[in-house]
Each structure stands twice: as structure tokens, then as C-alpha cells.
Amino acid sequence: MDQKRRNFLQGSLLASGAVLAGAVEAAPEPPKPPKEPKPPKDPKGPKPPKAETYDVVVVGAGFAGMCAALEAAEQGAKTVLLEKMGRPDGTTVYSSGWIAAVGSRFQKNHPEDSKEAFFQDMMKLSGYRSDPELVRVYADEAGDGIDWLADHGTPFFLWENLPAPELSRCVISPGEGITGGSKLLRCLMAALEKAGVPIVYNTKAVHLLKSPNWDVEGVHCLTPEGPKDYRARGGVILTTGGFGANEAMVGQYIGPWAAKLIVRGSPWITGENILMAQEVQARLVNMDQFYAGPITPTGHANPSPLMHAGYGIQVGTNGKRFVPETWLQVPKAKAIAQRTPDNRSFMLIGEDANANDNILSATIERFARLGYHVFKGETIEEVAKAAGVPADALVETVRVFNEAVKAGKAKELDPPYEYETPHALETGPYYMIPAAGGMASTMGGPKINKFAQVENFERRPIPGLYAAGAAAGGLWYQDDIGGNQLGGGMVFGRVAARHAARRAKAEAARRPPEPPKPPKPPKEPKEPNGPKHGA
């Protein structure tokens, strides 16, 4: 019985195993997961722009840059002018178009002036801190530069017999509905087009191209089409302007207080000259110096001409005087930023100021065209309330001022009122014109020599690197004659161009001539058609 059961169970198990085996063999294999589609091959993107080679590469399409590019082309150099924005939009656009010079054709009726006197006045204004070698080059070449611009279609007139040190040294390009600076640029752009010099916009230079010895050989740029190199046989001329619109640099080099200053010029002047020149250990000088002037808190209206000939006073938002009204633009702008809590002040003028060439009405009309509001009141109290200044404080300030004027003691006030013929504030209506401290351009940068070559830490020129205008350092310190800033860009832009063009010619002469290409072998004559095979 047991044996039969064992046989039965064994047979049953074997049968079951066979059935299971058959079932396993018969069961379909689980479906394989679908293969992931292969990612498409990356389509070939656009090739980066090819590098271009020139004799001279100028970086920055302002006044200095355009003067440099035009001069280089006229020296026979193949030249390109690069600009990071979509149009020329540097500080020159906001300037009045003054250029300070002696000896131009427009000044032939002033033989009493001389290049030596011009040199001495510029050095005196700098506190004798400017590089005298650079100032001497400026004094010698500025007059010829004015004539050169005039020969290229730039209109000028001479503003004669100004107070010292301007005298009859300010040659001005009339804007004719635009700023004088814009007029200068338009005339130069026409001359550059005629000379065949390309201006390449939206091209931001970010690095210098260097040899193993750190000779500068070009610039690496960012363009809408991709990164691109512009190589220079003779040199790169930095004319990017200064760093006045770079708040971090202003705080670093000038001081945190200067961050309160309003940018009087272009918002795009952000110190690329400093960043790139430091890549080759350029020596930076006068980095805490800048050109300044009062400006309206919004917009670009300059109220400085109102403070002239002893009409009016300057007060802070507390209604009290805080600065000598006779101070020139640079120290006055700095004082507004340093001596007031909010970089705000007002010029209080009475109707009697129109006795001085109708200057008050002309200024108010100009401000109105610019959409700028001037506060007005029939009395001191009314104008104070209109401007938001404490009326009782302003009334007391005017009372003390008027009494000192009538007693002949205006110079004994604190601060002193030093006009020779001061006028009491007694004729309404009265006007309060807002005035803040503004930064027009910085004076510091890579130190240049008399050939506009940038120097390194060891005071040696960096081969292939030049700077001009506000992108260069060493020419200006503390203060200057009206028109010196544009004049410096003109003079040293041309100086740099001449030297870089000569260097390009010298480099070309040193290169061995390329061997002539071997002639192509003559093509073998084709065999004449013979009879076909098997004919």
C-alpha cells in the first residue's frame, strides 16, 4: 500500500513537473522595454566670428577714439573703431563742445597769449601735480588739433575775453539744436566714413590679447554673433572714458561719499580701461581725482552760470549758506556732496540778476525747455515754502547777508562772500534753482607717457598699449581750464594714433616676405577618344 502510494505520488510529482515545465516553456517572454530613442545629434551651431587683423584697433567711439581712428587712417594704417553700445553714447554727447587751445587759426587776434602761459596756467590749476611732460605736449599740439578738426568740417567759434584762466582759449563747436559735443562727434563720424574707417557697434572689448612677453596684440570682444578677436599689428588704443558711472570703482578709488555724486555724463562709462590695463600690470595714477560740477538733481541742466558777478547766494536744504559762492565748479560740486547730508542745495537769486546780461531769465527759459521746474516766490518766505526749505532759517540767512553787503563786510561772513560787487537780495520775485554735486569725468587711469603709451609698474611702456582721453591718467589733477577734457582726448588720441601707426609699419618691415606660392602643375592633356573596346 505504501509502495503504491509512493509510486503514485512520484508519478504525480513527475507529471506535475512536466506540466509546469511545459507551462514555463510555453509562457511567452515578457516584452522588452522599448528602446529609448537616441537623442538627436546636436545641430551644428553658427561658427564663431573669425578674427580680424588691423594695424590699429581703437576701443571706444567717443571724441578721443574718433580723433585717434581718423588720425591713424590718415597715417596710412588700416584701422577699426569698436564701440560697446549701439551708438556713440559716451560723455562727449553730454558736453558743451569746448576745447581749450592756444595758437589755432581762430585765435590769431590774440598774440598776447602764448603756449608757455597756457602751460603755466594748466600746471597751476593742477597744483603742479600734473605730469609736466604731458601738459607740455597738450600746450604745443592743441592749436594744431583745432585747425585739423576745422579742416575736416567741424565749425568753431571763439569765446573771447572770459575771466582767467579761460581768457580767449575756449574754442566752441556750436550745437545748432544739439549739444556741442554731439556736433563734434557727427562731424568726425562723417570724416571717418569718408576715410573708410569702420565703426563696429555692440562690440564690447573685455580682454587684451597678449604675447608670451605681454606685448599687447589685440582685444577679445563680445559681439551679438559670439566672441571675436580683433588683432592689432601696431597697437590697441583705449579710449573708453573713465569710471564715473561704476559705483563700486568710485567708492573704491575716490571714497564712499563720492557715491552720492550724480553722473553728469554717460551712464556707460564704467572703467573697462582700468580692468583691461590691469591685465598687463599697468600703473594707475590719480585715481581719486575727477572733474565735477553742479548739476540739477534730475536731468542734465547745469545751474552754474547763475552764480556770477555777485547776484544771489547758495544754501543747503536747511536754508543756510555752506560754501563760498565764488568757488569754481569742481570744488563747489565736491562741497555740495561733502557738506550737505543729501547732496542737495539751492541757488537763491533775485530778479535784479537780470541786470547781468539777462542771465536769470535766459537760464529759467533753458530749464523750461528741458522740462525742469524752478521754484518761485514773490517773497523769501514764499520761495522757501515752494522749495521745501525752512522759511524762518532762509529769512534769517538773507537778513544777515543783506546787512553784511550794505556794511561792506560780505567777505567777513562765514563762509566768506568774495565777489567784489555783491548785491543784496531785495528785489523779487525770487527763484531757487536746485543744484547737486555731479561727476563729469574721472581724471585717473593708466599712466601714459608723451607718446600716449601706457606704462607698467616699472615705468616702462607696455608695447602695443595706448590710452587717451579720460581713459588715460597723468594729464589732469585737481582742476583744469574749461575745455581741457575734450582737448586732452583730441591731442593724445592723435599722438597715440601716430605712434601706433609707425609701430605697425615697423612690424611689417620686420616680417620676412612670404615665399611665393609654387606654380600649379600644368594639367595633363586628356587622351583623345580612341576606338571603343571590342570594336
Q: How far from 420 is each of 309, 329, 405, 410, CA to CA, in Å?
A: 8, 19, 11, 9
Of 292, 291, 274, residue with least CA distance to 283: 274
- pLDDT tens for each residue of 246-299: 999 999 999 999 988 999 889 999 999 999 999 999 999 999 999 888 998 876
Q: How far from 486 is each of 78, 184, 304, 480, CA to CA, in Å?
A: 25, 10, 19, 11
* pLDDT score for 37: 58
pLDDT above 70 (res 395): yes
Indicate the pairing of strand 79-82 with strand 199-200.
parallel
For residue 212, what are the contacts with CB-CB under 8 A and spacing of at least 6?
none
- Supply the mean pLDDT for the chain: 89
Question: Domain 296-437's class?
Answer: alpha beta
Q: Is the pTM of this model over 0.85?
A: no
Phi, psi (degrees; rounded to nearest 5) at 256: -60, -30
* pLDDT score for 188: 98
Q: In DSSP terms, which residues pair with 440 in a beta bridge? A: none
Alpha-carbon span 205 to 273, nearest angstrom: 10
- pLDDT tens for each residue of 84-130: 999 999 999 988 899 999 999 999 999 999 999 999 999 999 999 99
For residues 456-466, average pLDDT: 98
Asked whether 222 and 204 are in contact (CB, 8 A), the reply is yes
* pLDDT score for 24: 35
Cell of 321: 549758506
Confidence of residue 19 (pLDDT cuts 50, 70, 90): very low
pLDDT above 50 (res 311): yes
3-class state of residue 376 by DSSP: strand
Output 295-298 pairs: Cβ under 8 A, ≥24 positions apart. Answer: 295/262, 295/264, 295/333, 295/435, 295/436, 295/437, 295/438, 296/367, 296/372, 296/433, 296/434, 296/435, 296/436, 297/262, 297/344, 297/434, 297/436, 298/372
Confidence of residue 328 (pLDDT cuts 50, 70, 90): confident
For residue 186, what are the contacts with CB-CB under 8 A and spacing of at least 6?
178
Amino acid at site 38: K
* pLDDT score for 23: 37
Residue tagged 575736416 (cell numbers): 152
Confidence of residue 34 (pLDDT cuts 50, 70, 90): low
Q: Show the beta-strand stretches assigned E in 41-175.
A: 52-59, 79-82, 98-100, 157-159, 170-172
Indicate the pairing of strand 262-263 with strand 345-350.
unpaired
Q: Show the beta-strand stretches assigned E in 60-95.
A: 79-82
Q: In terms of pLDDT, which residue wins out, 29 or 459?
A: 459
We find that the CATH architecture of domain 52-289+443-508 is 3-Layer(bba) Sandwich (3.50)
For residue 292, what are the contacts with CB-CB under 8 A and spacing of at least 6?
261, 264, 329, 330, 333, 334, 437, 438, 439, 440
> Which has the minimum average pLDDT: 129-138, 217-226, 371-380, 460-469?
371-380
pLDDT above 90 (res 43): no
Handedness of CA 304, 295, 240, 226 (dihedral sign): negative
Q: In terms of pLDDT, which residue wins out, 530 or 393?
A: 393
**Spans of all domains in the chain:** 52-289+443-508, 296-437
Alpha-carbon span 124 to 128, nearest angstrom: 6
3-class state of residue 86 by DSSP: coil
Of 492, 499, 501, residue with least CA distance to 471: 492
